[in-house]
Amino acid sequence: MALLSSGGIALATHQEISQFLAEVERRAFKQAMFALRDEHGALDVVQDAMLKLTEKYAGKPPSELPLLFQRILQNAIHDHFRRQKVRSTWTTLLSALGKGDEKDEEYDPLETLVAKSDSNANADSAQLLEQGQIISLIEQALGRLPARQRQAFLLRYWEELDVAEAAAAMGCSEGSVKTHCSRAVHALAEMLKAKGVTL
């Protein structure tokens, strides 16, 4: 039986939260992988976000869970990057002090994860193969976008948030979301065109 808030709004039950997290877990992991390009880091970030939602926002209506979770996930990704930046700064400083001329190599920004696509039972094998190849190319191209463009694109077109919800999750204006999405779409189109794919 759902609990009611003082305003008479039904609050999410433990079962509803568990079901929501089970449904969103795979997409959240993929989103974190695009951002971090590190499987262990992505798993940690998603688990932290899920735990935080359960611990701090269990008393929210079910309709608020998707946007809340996206905010938590984006904050967890940003926190991960901040920690990495601090570590990287200290490592670079200590390395410079200890080795003089040697510098740490930066992570290759073009490295991407190619994830498996969901199959469509109604499509024939040739069509599925083609769709899988196109999805693979799109995911590689997504990995090459600047972080904010990729973030806006995934929130709008992967998570299907509207502009206002994406802006709230990203902590920016709706105009910025539109700009990032527009640039992402154009960049993706150019990258795919270079591979011979026209969508």
Q: Would you state the torsion angle of the CA atoms of residues 82, 182, 111, 128, taken in this order, to the nearest 10 degrees?
A: 130
Distance (Å, rounded) from C-alpha 71 to C-alpha 55? 15
The answer to whether 57 and 5 are in contact (CB under 8 A) is: no
16 burial class (0-12, 13-18, 19+ CB within 10 angstroms)? middle
| Domain 125-194 in the same topology as domain 14-99 | no
Radius of gyration of the chain from Cα atoms?
A: 20
184's tokens? 């992402």
Residuewise pLDDT in 10s, the chain (199 residues): 444 554 556 788 889 999 999 999 999 999 999 888 889 989 999 999 999 999 998 889 999 999 999 999 999 998 888 777 655 544 444 344 334 443 333 332 223 323 333 434 444 667 667 777 777 888 888 889 999 999 998 898 888 888 999 999 999 999 999 999 889 888 888 888 888 876 5
Measured distance between the N- and C-terminal CA atoms of the chain, rounded to whole angstroms: 47
Specify the CATH class of 14-99 in words: mainly alpha
- Other CB atoms within 10 A of residue 86 CB: 10
Ordered by start, the domain boundaries in the chain are 14-99, 125-194
Arch. (CATH architecture) of 125-194: Orthogonal Bundle (1.10)
Bridge-partner residues for 4, per DSSP? 10
